[in-house]
Amino acid sequence: MVGLIPDLHNPSNLNIKLWVNSLEISKTYSIKSIVIGSGFAGIASALRLRSLGHEVTLIERLDQLGGRARTFRRGQYKHDAGPTVITAPFLFRELFELFDERLDDHLEFVHLDPYYRFYFSESDQYFNYRASIEDTKSEIERFDSKDTKRYEELLAESKSIYDIGFKKLVHRPFISLYSMISQVPALLRLKCYRTVWQMVSKHLKHPLIRKAFSIHPLLIGGNPFTTTSIYALIHYLERKWGVFFCMGGTGKLVSELENLMLRHDIKIIKNCDVKSIHKKDNKVISIDTGDDTNLIADNIVFAGDPEVCYRELLSEKPTSKLFEPKKTYSMGLYVLYFGTKVKFKNVAHHTIWMGKKYQSLLHDIFENKKLDDDFSLYLHRPTATDSSFAPEGHDSFYVLCPVPNLEGDIDWKTEGKVLADKIIEALNQTIMPNLHECIEEVFWMTPQDFKDDYRSINGAGFSVEPKLTQSAWFRFHNQHKKYKNLFFVGAGTHPGAGLPGVISSAKVMQELITGVEVGSGEPNDSK
């Protein structure tokens, strides 16, 4: 039953809401917003814009949503293509809560223990980074009893950085020089001019434990020896909120977010490659998707490498000369996928396989841009937690290996197979004996695939490298300097790569559009 019928001839009544059985049925959605790219940054942006009442269209050039978080299937095996480590789960819950829905009605997040298992090939030793502080300290004690107390000191400093870097800065726009200058005193107090390696080494003394607790920058595309210590907040983020796996995989998370968008009338267009963005005066007005098809928009959000947008879609250079000098991009990623006809129960859900080299290996990857004879690996074994990824009695794996981006002179058509063989042999000789006899459905992605599939500059795995001089205001801004209705989200913008970073970039975008601070999203967060 209609509870209230407005007089349509009276303009003052046009905003009166209609209710049928106490449900709102009439709203006017006059603001048209287009989001280009459907990684987590694009999805979060589309949902936030829709929650503001915008008419939203999400454009994806591939045949499935997720960007780097898409899903591969080979034979009877399933593989998450990209991000597998879920931290700050409240950021995902918040996306459902925007529409008065509960994440737990659609998804199950499982708390992992250990968070990561480290294997040090130089000593054939294991270290378990555990879910509790006491268990972690017990593991550290096996290497150096004095480092147990020092770990507490490291954690305390990481918390200090988290309290500023994540709770106060991660969701705030840095589009003016003043916004950066105003934070300088806090950043200096945190000694952000130090690298992550320097900060960790100040506290921890055992060489292997130092390695274990300095790898976090690699999860967002940075070299621990050059990445600002502000990113040491990741350690406390994990410690405070845990490390989770989404049952069904990251692909399931993307699927349920897609369903959320569809339930709330977000239009999704797949297999659509945006060719250009049209401008008029000081605004962007539409996108060209080919075949003389233009989509009109009041706002455009680009959820990919900003440099791609500037150079390929806008046909211009980045507007600030600060971005021109020798901008550096993250390392590349080589990702090996395979199944096994047996289960490797000694391999944890997340395993970090450390090679013999560390600093020199990273120098070759980031600076020399060459493949070293050595390597370090991240192994994802989802079947340790979720049997749906493989047939009964089988395992599903992907192995992520940091490599130089495409600025290096590497023929990946040849080296892809060579590196696969080396990695399989190394695992066969160490933590996965007899791998040769049971491996099947092997394939891989190289930096060239990242460039081709994701329009990634230099085939980089994480866009712009997270150095101090490429963070916050020095990163690509979240709003175009001239076209104020063009926004940027994702790994190349503030706050940076990683799931918490890219999802938070959508909050930055929302604040720029509304002028209202969104907050970090942390439960009981003071906004």
pLDDT, tens digit, 9 for 90 and up, residues 341-372: 999 999 999 999 999 999 999 999 999 999 99
CATH topology of domain 111-159+187-228+328-454: Polyamine Oxidase; Chain A, domain 2 (3.90.660)
pLDDT mean over 22-38: 65
Residues present in the chain in total? 527
**Range with lowest mean pLDDT among 37-51, 319-333, 394-408, 429-443:** 319-333
Position 28 scores a pLDDT of 35
Phi, psi of 337 (to 5 degrees): -120, 140
Phi, psi of 56 (to 5 degrees): -115, 135
Helix (H, G, I), strand (E, B) or coil at 144: coil
Average the pLDDT over 244-260 and give the result.
98
Share of the chain above pLDDT 70, in %: 92
- Using CA atoms, how far apart are residues 511 and 172, in angstroms rounded to an integer? 8
pLDDT above 70 for 455: yes
Residue 8 reports pLDDT greater than 60: no
Q: Given pLDDT bands bounded at 50, 70 and 90, which one contains residue 205? A: very high
At 20 the pLDDT is 28
Q: Quick one: average pLDDT of 289-315?
A: 92
Domains of the chain, residue spans = 31-74+86-109+247-326+467-514, 111-159+187-228+328-454
Q: pLDDT at residue 375 above 90?
A: yes
Predicted local distance difference test score (pLDDT) of residue 68: 95
Which of 406-412's residues contact partners 24+ apart within 8 Å by CB, and which partners? 406/332, 406/447, 406/448, 406/451, 406/458, 406/459, 407/329, 407/369, 407/458, 408/332, 408/368, 408/369, 408/370, 408/371, 409/369, 409/370, 410/370, 410/371, 410/447, 412/446, 412/447, 412/448
Q: Is the pLDDT of residue 522 over 50?
A: yes
Residue 169: pLDDT band (50, 70, 90) is confident
Please give the residue that has the higher pLDDT: either 27 or 524: 524
Q: How far is CA 209 from the centre of its chain?
A: 25
Question: Mean pLDDT for the chain?
Answer: 90
Among 210-219, 242-251, 310-319, 440-449, which is the least confidently predicted range?
A: 310-319
84-108 average pLDDT score: 97
What is the predicted pLDDT for the residue at 24? Answer: 36
pLDDT for 17 equals: 31
Residue 162 has a CB neighbour count (10 Å cut-off) of 22
Q: The tokens of 363 are what?
A: 């120098």
Please give the CATH architecture assigned to the domain spanning 31-74+86-109+247-326+467-514.
3-Layer(bba) Sandwich (3.50)
d(CA 14, CA 27): 10
Q: From 505, 503, 497, select the one nearest 467 (Cα to Cα).
A: 497
- Residue 302's pLDDT is 98
pLDDT 10s digits, 400-416:
999 999 999 999 999 99
Q: Choose among 221, 251, 247: nearest CA to 234.
A: 221
Q: How many CB atoms lie within 10 A of CB 152?
A: 13
| Predicted model pTM | 0.91
| Cβ-contact 88, 81 below 8 angstroms | no
Tell me the CA distances in angstroms from 74 to 59, 77, 82, 334, 450, one per residue in order: 26, 5, 16, 18, 19
Whether 199 shows a pLDDT value over 60: the answer reads: yes
| Sequence-distant (≥ 6) Cβ neighbours of residue 259 within 8 angstroms | 106
